[in-house]
Every structure is written in C-alpha cells, then in structure tokens.
Amino acid sequence: MKCFVTGAAGFVGSHLCRRLLAEGAEVVGIDSFTDYYPRPVKDARVATLAGKPGFTLVEGDVLTADLDALAAGSDFIFHQAAQAGVRASWGQTFDIYTNNNVLATQRMLECARRVKPKKFVYASSSSVYGEGRERPTKENDPKVPLSPYGVTKLAGEHLCHLYEHNFGVPTISLRYFTVYGPLGRPDMSIWKFTLAMLRGEELAVYGDGEQSRGFTYVADVVEANVLAARSKLSDTAFNVGGASTVTVNQLIRQIERILGKKARVRHEPPAQGDARHTEADMTRTRKLLGLTARTPLSKGLPPSIQSIRDFYGL
C-alpha cells in the first residue's frame, strides 16, 4: 500500500504518517514548512518519523512540486496541508489562505485525476459551519463560515465534489473539530495556556472564556482518515468530533490540575471569526464510517501537555 500525505510535518499529518507506517504502508510525505509557527515544532515531529522504513519526506510546496512524480502509484492520498488558523485569515494574509487551501487543493485534485488513487481524503474543518444552526451540528446543517479560513476550507470541499463528479476522483471530506494531542499546534489554546502556566506568565483568553469546543484527540482523527480511505463511500463529508465538549474556562481548570499550577488569566476582546460553540453530531460518522474510538479530554490531555513540557524542557 502506498500513501501520499500532504502537510506531513504538520500536527495531524505527522500523526497520520506514523499510523500508516505502523500498518506497513509506504508513505511519501510533502511539507513546505510554512512559517505560521516555529519550525522546530515541525522538526520535532519529523524526528519521530525519520528513519522509519518506508518513509520519505520531501520538503516542497504543493503549489510548485512535481506532484505526479511524488504521488505516482499511490493507493491513497491524504490532503492535510493547509494554512490553518481562523484569526490570521483576515486582512493582508488572506492570499496565504487562498494559495495553500484553495489553489493547493485544486492542484492536488488535478494530480489525483491522473494518479487515480482509491481514495482522496481531504482534511476539512468544523469552521465550514460557522455558528451552526443546531448543536451538536449535523453534516447537512447550513454551511455559513464565519471566517475567511472557513470559506477556503469549504471551497476545498466543493472542489472535491467537482473532481469526483466530473473526473471520477473518489473523495471524502473530514470536518475536524478542534484537534489536540502530542506535539500539537503552538497557536492553539492547549499549547498556549500550558506554556504560559509553565513559564508563570499571563495567558490571554478571548472574551469571557465561556465559549466551548468539542475537543478531538488526534488518534481519533487519524482513525477517521484510515476509515475514510477504506470506506466504499465517496463524494461525501463526515464530522470528526471528540468525546469532550468543554468551555475555555473548564479547559484552563483541567490544565491547572494536571500541572499543579494556577493560571493568571487576562481577558481580551472576542476574536472575530471564532464560533461561540462547536460540537459535532457524530451519529452519521459512527454509523457509516464506523468511527468508535473516542478519547475523552481526561485521557488525551496528559500526554499532550507532557509533549509540550518535553519540547521546552520545562
């Protein structure tokens, strides 16, 4: 089995590569090591993969690399590469989002047209829903993104549909809800809060901290990717949400308990583009993809925090 993984040095991509390699797959990964957050975090992830039999990592940009050569013979393509982050997607940096999320997805789908994988799995996002009509949110609820980032992720889903409909590329979009886990993203709340507490610094909370998120452990997201690849279904999207929906304030309490430290919180104005609450309705994913692994925050948080301590030696 050969797999092509984009965003392989990224948070989700690196965990996915590890799982595919453990299953005996040959994995070619590509990552352009964007500077959205410090490179040493990506290097640390890659270090956990380097030297594993069957793994090749190419430092390159999906927009310019010879994708056909890299993906040749792939049974499965997992397109994880993107410019993540809701708040940075306003203003002058929007072109980074259109390039890395819309154009890069179109390039990958053009490549898939020629390579003909058994499945093209696209990492989408809960941000396609915006505020969501209902909570928990179902796949067929309205897609009204609140941020430019959400607009680009939804555009990627539409492109997947177009390439399946017109050229027979079998695609599945997975709408991830706030993913966390070991060597996660330094721009996300768990990393930022943990680091601030370890350093005895103030941590910034947007708004009153009563906004909530459905936290999804990365191993469950990886499992969803594997199940989507194997599934006979295509031309569809699934929620990938976690077992724990907690407010930002509750999250801080949990981190305090694990670290045995008290947070010093500074409140900042609510961030534009952030949904107040997100929570996935997982009924359809459970039934049609068979995703049962659900890691609660109480199990997923300790190893996530430990990886941050290890990374900084704190």
Ligand X SMILES: NC(=O)c1ccc[n+]([C@@H]2O[C@H](COP(=O)([O-])OP(=O)(O)OC[C@H]3O[C@@H](n4cnc5c(N)ncnc54)[C@H](O)[C@@H]3O)[C@@H](O)[C@H]2O)c1
Q: Which is nearer to ligand X, 179 or 197 (CB)?
A: 179
Q: Which is nearer to ligand X, 123 or 252 (CB)?
A: 123
What is the nearest approach in angstroms of ligand X to the Cβ of residue 200?
27
Q: Which is nearer to ligand X, 45 or 252 (CB)?
A: 45
Report the distance separating Cα 146 and Cα 120, nearest Å: 26
Q: Which residues are catalytic?
A: 149
> How many other C-beta atoms can be found within 10 angstroms of the C-beta atom of residue 152?
27
Sequence-ordered list of residues with C-beta below 8 angstroms from that of 41, at least 6 positions apart, any chain:
183, 185, 186, 311
Give strand ranges (E) for 138-195.
171-176, 179-180
What is the nearest approach in angstroms of ligand X to the Cβ of residue 188?
6
What letter does residue 90 receive in the DSSP assignment? Answer: S
What is the nearest approach in angstroms of ligand X to the Cβ of residue 87?
13
What is the nearest approach in angstroms of ligand X to the Cβ of residue 81?
4
Sequence-ordered list of residues with C-beta below 8 angstroms from that of 268, at least 6 positions apart, any chain:
204, 205, 206, 207
178: alpha, beta or left? (left if phi > 0; alpha if psi -120 to 50): left
For the sheet containing 212-217, what is the strand order? Answer: 179-180, 212-217, 244-247
The helix/strand/coil state of 240 is strand
> How many other C-beta atoms can be found within 10 angstroms of the C-beta atom of residue 103?
17
Residue nearest to ligand X (CB): 10
Binding footprint of ligand X on the chain (CB under 6 A): 6-7, 9-13, 30-34, 36, 42, 61-63, 80-84, 100, 104, 123, 125, 153, 176, 178-179, 185
Task: Give kind and range of the element (H or E) at residue 57.
Answer: strand 55-59
What letter does residue 231 receive in the DSSP assignment? Answer: -
What is the nearest approach in angstroms of ligand X to the Cβ of residue 300?
13
Q: Which is nearer to ligand X, 176 or 238 (CB)?
A: 176
Q: Name the β-bridge partners of 77.
A: 4, 120
Q: What is 118-135 written as a DSSP string?
A: SEEEEEEEGGGSTT-SSS
Q: Which is nearer to ligand X, 107 or 117 (CB)?
A: 107
Any idea what the Cα angle at residue 69 is, between residues 108 and 51, rounded to 5°?
95
Q: Which is nearer to ligand X, 164 or 176 (CB)?
A: 176
